[in-house]
Amino acid sequence: MGEPSFLETGKLPHRVLSRLLRRYGRTDDRVLVGPHIGEDATAIAPQRDVVVAGMDPITFATDEIGWYVVHVNANDVAVMGAQPRWFLVTFLLPEGRTRLEDVEEMFDQVARACEEVGASLVGGHTEVTYDLKRPLAIGVMMGEVARDRLVRTGGAQVGDTLILARGVPIEGTALIARERREDLLARGVPAKVVERAAGFLHDPGISVVRAALVAAEAGGVHAMHDPTEGGVLTGVWELAEASNVGVWMDGDAVVVLPEGRLLCDMYGLDPLGTIASGALLIAADPAAAPRVLERLHGEAIPAAPIGHILPLEEGRWLRRAGERVPLIPPPVDEIVKVFVGGEE
């Protein structure tokens, strides 16, 4: 085989970009201007009262960067009660190391992930640029929701029941298994457990879109939040901070997935402080909480109460192993302990 052919620095060749957009660009009848050579923006005519937009980058090394960038942005839109609809992505790619096949794979990942969350790829930008060690992706997801169904992270009310949907730490478990596979095997963790844990990105998966929309549809939901870095401890604290309220969190009631507990124990991590994408926090009116739980369970989405909202002056508290302690978010995500001193 000959030497690999890398793309030159700068924008993708027009013929390449045009082919990618024809293959992967998706529109619906509300997209007035879609992805096309020469079009620097998209135009959308929404039908609902409110358009919700979220933007997040993917800066860490991953072979699923296109899939990741869709889902992390879709989560941020869905926790506001909005259906993800339209996605824009910017890929910045390292010179001298980016092949056409790499770009094809990234676009394919974006298209598949958009289909999974019900969104369309409507625009963005892709270029090969200098002085990058790895590909970077910056996504913008837009969704829509009726004004009276909009949910805010800062909407929790005193007396609300705090619910955790799904378990923790889904993303943390997958990252440990993928990045430390050989070490885990050497420590005696069965290969089938490592493989199952590595698959957590997709099953149970880091997307909370379906869970968030099911909960919002049930009614009585005042706030939602998807805990990411810093785990569920930081997520609960952030929800309380955004809402200017206190909180009682029963850490003993949090469902820690068996694979997650095993891998966290291997490296001395607190599962509640480990990156928790894939879990969903819900603050619901106490009268509506049973209905929210029933709807989630009816969709085969595990969920359980883990606390309640207090007046701000009563503080933020956590129960761990039966002890009452202040709820303080960890200064950095627990998963950092796994990678300190390791490879980038």
How does pLDDT run across 284-297, given as a tens digit for each residue? Answer: 999 999 999 999 99
pLDDT at 27 over 70: no
Which strand ranges, in their side-by-side order, compose the sheet holding 50-58? 10-11, 120-129, 83-94, 136-145, 50-58
CA distances from 224 to 77, 139, 142 (A): 11, 21, 17
Residue 236 near residue 162 (C-beta atoms within 8 A)? yes
Sole residue written with tokens 């919700």: 52
pLDDT value for 288 = 98
pLDDT in tens, 308-326: 999 999 999 999 999 999 9
The first and second tokens of residue 86, run together, are 């339209």
pLDDT in tens, 71-125: 999 999 999 999 999 999 999 999 999 999 999 999 999 999 999 999 999 989 9
pLDDT value for 343 = 42
Distance of alpha carbon 51 from alpha carbon 141, whole angstroms: 10
The first and second tokens of residue 287, run together, are 């009268």
pLDDT value for 275 = 96
Sole residue written with tokens 């991590």: 269
The first and second tokens of residue 201, run together, are 């990105």
pLDDT value for 262 = 97
The first and second tokens of residue 250, run together, are 């029963």
Give the Cα-Cα-Cα angle 56, 106, 275 (nearest 5 degrees). Answer: 40
CA distances from 77 to 73, 85, 202, 206, 268 (A): 7, 9, 19, 14, 33
Could you please state the CATH topology (level 3) that the domain comprising 10-149 is classified under.
60s Ribosomal Protein L30; Chain: A; (3.30.1330)
Distance of alpha carbon 41 from alpha carbon 33, whole angstroms: 8
Neighbours of 156 (CB within 10 A): 27
pLDDT in tens, 252-287: 999 999 999 999 999 999 999 999 999 999 999 999
Residue 7 near residue 98 (C-beta atoms within 8 A)? yes
Distance of alpha carbon 78 from alpha carbon 208, whole angstroms: 7
pLDDT at 68 over 90: yes
Distance of alpha carbon 220 from alpha carbon 215, whole angstroms: 9
pLDDT at 67 over 80: yes
Q: Predicted confidence band at 11 (pLDDT cuts at 50, 70, 90)?
A: low
Q: Predicted confidence band at 344 (pLDDT cuts at 50, 70, 90)?
A: very low
pLDDT value for 49 = 79
Taking residues 218-244, report their average pLDDT: 96
Q: What is the CATH superfamily name and number for domain 153-339? A: PurM-like C-terminal domain (3.90.650.10)
Give the Cα-Cα-Cα angle 268, 231, 338 (nearest 5 degrees). Answer: 35
Domain ranges for the chain, please list them. 10-149, 153-339
Q: Quick check: bond before 331 cis, omega within 30?
A: no
Residue 162 near residue 289 (C-beta atoms within 8 A)? no
pLDDT value for 35 = 66
pLDDT value for 134 = 92
Q: Do domains 10-149 and 153-339 have the same CATH topology?
A: no
The first and second tokens of residue 75, run together, are 């989560």
Neighbours of 185 (CB within 10 A): 13
| 7 vs 335, more confident | 335
pLDDT in tens, 138-194: 999 999 999 899 999 999 999 999 999 999 999 999 999 999 999 999 999 999 999
Distance of alpha carbon 158 from alpha carbon 170, whole angstroms: 29
Taking residues 196-206, report their average pLDDT: 96
| 190 vs 21, more confident | 190
pLDDT value for 34 = 63
According to DSSP, the residues that pair with 277 across neighbouring strands are 279
Identity of the residue numbered 109? Q
Question: Which pTM was predicted?
Answer: 0.88
Residue 7 near residue 93 (C-beta atoms within 8 A)? yes
* CA 98 distance to own-chain centroid: 26
pLDDT at 16 over 90: no
